[in-house]
């Protein structure tokens, strides 16, 4: 058992994969917390689909310029496309011409269709896209690792460092505007950081499941917390645990790491949701009156007038 673990940790491929999984688990819920707060849980999915077009564009440019390997520009292309897509969604949302819902739907379809179309122009096959659709953490290169670390640092610095301002904008945009806060800049910051997070997480779970890593840990955390700060911290911890354990499981059992991680996270949600009512009831003792002690607005003729 111990030697098995040592073997896993000694494998350089697995070392890189573990570092990436750890970082993604830590970073994805940070921005996910803001997205859940403003009820934009599906934004990550929309950005992910656009990122796929970016992957194909990177591939196309790489092919045209005879780069080796052909996919050297795939991740930079994804970053660029995701950022542009995120900013466009934010502008559409804030101008209110189209509902956020419809804007997201357009991105979903446009992103996938654009990706497949451009990929065929680039001379690649849809098989080349599958790695991005479902993740390919087992083939993380040193270059990927460096990019992941850099993007993760950016997301953490912005998402945690500016949390008071980002909280204010996500909690009550009208109040933030009336406080003179740079609301548009903050909104675009959230969109861009979400885009960076998507491209980082894409490596681990793929475009189709990217949003799960941002949203599900937050969904689990908010079942058991009462503060924003603790929700974010708990979600980050859950993210790291499910990413690392999912990856570890697939080291021994042949399964898709991305899918395993997401299934673990959703299983955890189901477990916590089932256990929570029992714990809450036990803690409250079932006797406490939940109503605040406020005098009645009316005079009651019978009974205690207070």
Partner 1 sequence: MSDATQPVIEAAGVTVVLGGSPIVRGVDLTIGQGEVVALLGANGSGKSTLVRALVGVVPIERGSIRLLGAPLGRAVPWQRIGYVPQRVTAATGVPATAVEVVLSGTLHGHHLVPPRDARDRARAALDAVGLAAAADMAVQTLSGGQQQRVLIARALVRRPDLLLLDEPVAGVDVPSQRAFATTLAELAAGGTTVLVVLHELGALAPLIGRAVVLRHGTIAHDGAPPPPQAEHADPDHVHLHPHDGDRDPAHDEAGVTPTVRWQR
Output the CA torsion sign for 226, 228, 231, 233: negative
Burial (CB count <10 Å: 0-12, 13-18, 19+), residue 62? buried
When the beta carbons of 126 and 177 are compared against partner 1, the nearer one is: 177
Sole binder of partner 1 in the list 19, 162, 233, 266 (CB under 8 A): 162
User: Does 292 engage in binding with partner 1 (CB under 8 A)?
Assistant: yes
195-219 burial code (b ≥16 CB/10 A, e <16): bbbbbbbbbbbbbbbbbbbbbbbbb
User: Does 225 engage in binding with partner 1 (CB under 8 A)?
Assistant: yes
When the beta carbons of 182 and 305 are compared against partner 1, the nearer one is: 182
d(CA 141, CA 17): 9
| Beta carbon of residue 293, minimum distance to partner 1 (angstroms, whole number) | 10
| Beta carbon of residue 218, minimum distance to partner 1 (angstroms, whole number) | 7
d(CA 21, CA 4): 19
User: Does 184 engage in binding with partner 1 (CB under 8 A)?
Assistant: no
d(CA 192, CA 247): 27
When the beta carbons of 37 and 260 are compared against partner 1, the nearer one is: 37
User: Does 109 engage in binding with partner 1 (CB under 8 A)?
Assistant: no
Of 76-84, 167-175, 193-201, 260-268: span binding partner 1 (CB under 8 A):
167-175
Sole binder of partner 1 in the list 39, 276, 281, 284 (CB under 8 A): 39
Of 4-12, 50-58, 162-170, 280-288: span binding partner 1 (CB under 8 A):
162-170
Cα–chain center distance at 41: 9
What are the strands, taking DSSP E only, across the chain?
Answer: none
Contact (CB, 8 A) for 264 and 274: no
User: Does 178 engage in binding with partner 1 (CB under 8 A)?
Assistant: yes
Sole binder of partner 1 in the list 97, 177, 281, 284 (CB under 8 A): 177
When the beta carbons of 147 and 232 are compared against partner 1, the nearer one is: 232
Host H or E run for residue 227: none
C-alpha torsion angle, residues 213, 219, 221, 227 (rounded to 10): 120
By CB under 8 A, name the binding residues for partner 1: 33, 36-39, 41, 161-162, 164-165, 167-168, 170-172, 174-182, 186, 218, 222, 225-229, 231, 291-292, 294-295, 297
């Amino acid at each position: 058992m111990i030697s098995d673990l040592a073997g896993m940790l000694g494998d350089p491929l697995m070392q890189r994969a573990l570092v990436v999984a750890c970082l993604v688990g830590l970073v994805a819920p940070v921005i996910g917390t803001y997205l859940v707060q403003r009820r934009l849980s599906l934004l990550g999915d929309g950005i992910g689909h656009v990122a796929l077009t970016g992957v194909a564009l990177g591939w196309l440019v790489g092919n045209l310029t005879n780069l080796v390997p052909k996919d050297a520009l795939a991740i930079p292309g994804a970053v660029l496309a995701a950022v542009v897509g995120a900013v466009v969604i934010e502008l559409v949302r804030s101008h209110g011409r189209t509902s956020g819902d419809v804007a997201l739907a357009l991105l979903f379809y446009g992103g996938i269709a654009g990706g497949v179309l451009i990929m065929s122009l680039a001379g690649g096959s849809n098989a080349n896209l599958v790695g991005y659709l479902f993740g390919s953490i087992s083939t993380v290169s040193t270059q990927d690792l460096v990019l992941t670390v850099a993007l993760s640092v950016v997301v953490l610095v912005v998402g945690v460092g500016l949390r008071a301002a980002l909280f204010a904008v996500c909690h009550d945009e009208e109040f933030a505007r009336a406080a003179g806060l740079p609301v548009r800049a903050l909104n675009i910051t959230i969109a861009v950081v979400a885009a960076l997070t998507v491209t980082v997480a894409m490596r681990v779970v793929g475009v189709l499941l990217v949003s799960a890593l941002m949203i599900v840990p937050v969904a689990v955390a908010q079942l058991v917390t009462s503060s924003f700060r603790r929700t974010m911290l708990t979600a980050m911890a859950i993210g790291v645990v499910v990413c690392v354990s999912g990856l570890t499981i697939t080291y021994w059992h042949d399964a898709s790491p991305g899918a395993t991680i997401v299934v673990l996270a959703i299983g955890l949600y189901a477990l916590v949701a089932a256990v929570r009512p029992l714990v809450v009831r036990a803690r409250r003792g079932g006797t406490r009156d939940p109503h605040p002690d406020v005098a009645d607005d009316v005079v009651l003729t019978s009974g205690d007038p207070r």
